[in-house]
Amino acid sequence: MNVITLRRVCRAVLLAAALLVCPLLALADDRPSPEGIEFFERKVRPLLVKHCYSCHSAEAKKLRGELRLDTRDGVKQGGASGPVVVPGEPAKSPLILAVRHAADVQPMPPKEKLTDAEIADLEAWVKMGVPDPRTGAATAAADPTKGRDFWSFQPVRDHPPPPVKDESWPINPIDRFVLAELEKRDLKPVAPADKRALIRRATFDLTGLPPTPEEIADFLNDDSPDAYAKLIDRLLASPAYGERWGRHWLDVVRYADSAGDNSDFPIPQMVKYRDWVIDAFNRDLPYDRFITEQLAGDLLPATDATDRYQKLIATGYLANARRFGSYEDARYPWYLTYEDTIDNLGRTFLGLTINCARCHDHKFDPISQEDYYALYGFFQSTRYPRAGIELDQVQRDLVPLASASEIERAEHERKAELAKVEAKAKRLAVEKRAADQVVRWAEKLHDPDRVKAAKKRVEELTKAVAAAKKEKDRFDRKPWPFELAYAVAEGKTEGKHKVGNACVQIKGDPERQGKEVPRRFPTVLGGQTLPAKVQGSGRLHLARWIADPKNPLTARVMVNRVWHYHFGKGIVATPSDYGKQGTPPTHPELLDYLASRFAESGWSVKAMHRLVMLSRTYQLSGADDAANARHDVDNEYLWRFPRQRLDAESIRDAMLAVSSDLDRGRGGSHPFPDPNTWDYTQHKPFKAVYDTDRRCVYLMTQRIQRHPFLALFDGADTNASTAKRITSTTPLQALYLMNDPFVHAQAKKFAARLLAAADGDAGRVERAYLLAYGRPPTADEQAAAQEFLTKVTEKLRESGVGTGELPAKTWESFARVVFLSNEFVYVE
């Protein structure tokens, strides 16, 4: 066998091994996952376009190394030196070694190394299995004329509920749409859930908390025909509803209490936006107003000062966009913050990956690069606040929650005070220079006494000058006499955040400006343009275009989010991607019916909850059915209610609730360090964990460091929009529930509650089951619990636990078993 053949065989063996080792391989013929596509389009494709295509694409003047990186096949085949990636193994991938500028490897790009963040993105891509949706040459996806033929860009149609064979089954119009699809496939819905399962399901769904035994008893004892409807109304009226559904929204808008730059500066004022969201859900703020206030609350009329301040706070949605720089304003990369804003706006309100058009026309959806920069102009014309940067640890451009006269007076007083501070610093500097001259004069005269006195004066003045400088440097950190909001405002006539249209950035490079693009809505959605008379950013017009009932996406996207959070899966399984790379709806007529009702109701989210939850479809049991499962194993057509694990927040809140340790008060501010002490850098970023006995929605959440509990139990990613939570099952989760001090503390309090509330072990077991599972134990479970308690007591006694401590320790052990059980963390 010659050398060339041997090399080919070895290469084939290595590739085969990679295929076996990496089951998530995305370079195979199988379509990559939606998450993989999203990561590629957001992170990898722009990077390749910017840094690699000039030498490794069809557009290169000379193809280097016979390597094409502009197609999936090109990445898969590699170049003259062989494969460039080993899916799943960055350390073995020549591409990664090259961009790391590793020893004995040709560095790429040759002239300038990629940033650490860019290298990390490529490494993450390889670890994911190199997901790549590209199929060859660019498509004509950006053509809006053809794009309007796609289902999601078609106008919403108000479909009448269809006829069904079993007229006795539907109890509201939703059931007719669902049953019609079931009957087409010879699927039969299972029996309804019992009342205990239903109240537990509904209570967790709407409040994120377990029902109390008393609430369960009241519901069971209510035999009126509208008992269930009254339950839904009670839950929707609870303050806990806004906390629960506000948290869902915070997932989507990637809420965080820190900026996300390399130093991850804290944002103490961000909680105002969090609380605004919670209040908006509780008061059922119409969704079109909910959109408009977040995008342009500062441009809306207000009824009074309080209303004005709340509308300003609402624009915290825009202000919450990530920050990326660590250096002075002249070089600050605001374009990345605008990019993050556009990306989130597209996914959140429109269900579109608009960000994929930053460097080129969208490869799959009818969004052109000009559409992207038409939107870019709205946010380039907006003044964003700054949380602080490494070289200037001061918050700037926050929005005062005060009247114009109060702001003017405070600014006047501040300028006057600053002038005094600067004058003092200048005077001391002059005196020090004079004192230095006195020292030199005294030394020339050889007068020791005068030299000593002069040096002492210089020493005093040096300290005074340093103190004055420190006072001046800290002046910007001095608090204002009114509250500030981390919110946006209109741009300026000059400098950064200048009002006006944006230019296309060639290949997404802000240094390479192309043609100017007027601010407008994407062409495929109508292409509405700003009236000539508009002098500001135009955000109010943008908000109204998004919230227009004629927009085919906005209502569809929101009602699908509501459906997704109730059933664990949306009618569209990709809640933030309604494009060609997303998943088409399983019940398209039902989706449009719900969207029509949503607009018709005045955009009431609570009305949508009632419509969905009062359906028979929602009230089905979670029982399995072998015959149905053979034809619809994934329950796509909803012949049963899908069993769901509680999200991280509900698990933690439920432990606090059953232990009677949950503080139901509002979260308030976080105990951040005093701004005068801030000294954060990319090498010493802000990091903190502030625990609380209040609900999880009030936990401080950072961008660069996730709260340990939320990270372990699949909490939202604070760096990107989280359309749906993943559900992992890991040994670490079980170990946490067995061993973590927080769990032990809650188990101790749960045990104390059981010991105090019921007589006898049997009564305590029953109380535990009612609190944790919403039902009494069966006879077998009661017997098993008694056996467990007896054995634990014996073991504790043998280990030396005193008689007085035995009951508490025994029940603490029992409580931990309850927390560790599947039934505690799942809803049927």
Residue 328: pLDDT above 80?
no
Buried b (16+ CB within 10 A) or exposed e, 573-610: bbbbbbbbbbeebbbbbbbbbbbbbbbebebbbbbbbb
| 270-313 confidence digits (pLDDT tens) | 999 999 999 999 999 999 999 999 999 999 999 999 999 999 99
pLDDT for position 475: 78
More confident residue, 567 or 141: 567
Please choose, from the candidates 493, 555, 519, 491, the residue with its C-alpha nearest in 3D space to the C-alpha of residue 298: 491
Token pair listed for 757: 């509330």
pLDDT for position 10: 36
Q: Per-residue pLDDT averaged across 454-463, rounded?
A: 85
Q: Per-residue pLDDT averaged across 566-575, rounded?
A: 97
**Three-state SS sequence of 779-814:** HHHHHHHHHHHHHHHHHHHHCCCCCCCHHHHHHHHH
**Three-state SS sequence of 326-369:** CCCHHHCCHHHHHHHHHHHHHHHHHCCCHHHHCCCCCCCCCCCH
Out of 134-148, 263-277, 598-612, 753-767, which region has the weakest mean confidence (pLDDT)?
134-148
Query: CA–CA separation, 549 vs 603, rounded Å?
Result: 10
More confident residue, 568 or 668: 568
Beta bridge partners of 95: none
Residue type, 603: W
Compute, in degrees rounded to 10, the torsion defined by CA atoms 642, 647, 652, 653: -70
DSSP 513: E
Query: CA–CA separation, 429 vs 462, rounded Å?
Result: 8
Place 398 in a pLDDT band, splitting at 50, 70 and 90. very high
Structural contact between residues 292 and 387, judged by C-beta atoms closer than 8 angstroms: no
Residue 136: pLDDT above 60?
no
Between helices 334-345 and 369-380, what is the axis angle to 10°? 110
| 599-637 confidence digits (pLDDT tens) | 999 999 999 999 999 999 999 999 999 999 999 999 999
> What mean pLDDT value characterizes the chain?
90
Alpha helices in 238-304 (DSSP H): 239-252, 271-282, 287-296
Token pair listed for 594: 């719900």
Residue 4: pLDDT above 90?
no
Compute, in degrees rounded to 10, the torsion defined by CA atoms 185, 190, 192, 198: -100
Cis peptide before 685 (omega within 30 of 0): no
pLDDT for position 79: 84
Please choose, from the candidates 188, 164, 185, the residue with its C-alpha nearest in 3D space to the C-alpha of residue 174: 164
Structural contact between residues 31 and 570, judged by C-beta atoms closer than 8 angstroms: no
Q: Hey, how many other C-beta atoms are within 10 angstroms of the C-beta on 812?
A: 22
Structural contact between residues 270 and 320, judged by C-beta atoms closer than 8 angstroms: yes
> Which pairs with CB-CB distance under 8 Å and at least 24 residues apart come from 95-99?
95/122, 95/126, 96/122, 96/123, 96/126
Residue 7: pLDDT above 60?
no
| 304-323 confidence digits (pLDDT tens) | 999 999 999 999 999 999 99
Q: Per-residue pLDDT averaged across 71-83, rounded?
A: 84
pLDDT for position 141: 65
Measured CA to CA in angstroms, residue 262 lies from 259, 332, 681, 685 at distances of 9, 12, 7, 7
Residue 394 CA, chain-centre distance (Å), reads 26
Place 30 in a pLDDT band, splitting at 50, 70 and 90. low
Residue 179: pLDDT above 90?
yes
Residue 688: pLDDT above 70?
yes
Q: Per-residue pLDDT averaged across 490-511, rounded?
A: 88
Angle at CA of residue 134, ends 133 and 138, nearest 5°: 140
Q: What percent of the chain has pLDDT over 70?
A: 95
Out of 115-119, 255-259, 767-771, which region has the weakest mean confidence (pLDDT)?
115-119
3-state secondary structure of 106: coil
pLDDT for position 76: 84
Query: CA–CA separation, 94 vs 107, rounded Å?
Result: 10
Q: Is the dihedral of CA 301, 305, 308, 312 positive or negative?
A: positive
| 36-75 confidence digits (pLDDT tens) | 887 888 889 888 888 898 899 877 877 888 898 988 888 8
| 239-270 confidence digits (pLDDT tens) | 999 999 999 999 999 999 999 998 999 999 99
Residue 420: pLDDT above 60?
yes
- Burial bucket for residue 526 (CB in 10 Å: 0-12, 13-18, 19+): middle
Q: Which residue has the tokens 């939320």?
A: 710
pLDDT for position 326: 78
pLDDT for position 826: 96
Compute, in degrees rounded to 10, the torsion defined by CA atoms 520, 521, 526, 527: 30
| 332-358 confidence digits (pLDDT tens) | 899 999 999 999 999 999 999 999 999
Q: Per-residue pLDDT averaged across 446-459, rounded?
A: 83
Beta bridge partners of 88: none
Query: CA–CA separation, 243 vs 250, rounded Å?
Result: 10
3-state secondary structure of 77: helix
Query: CA–CA separation, 86 vs 30, rounded Å?
Result: 17
Q: Can you give the length of the chain in residues?
A: 828
Compute, in degrees rounded to 10, the torsion defined by CA atoms 117, 121, 126, 130: -160
Radius of gyration of the chain (CA): 31
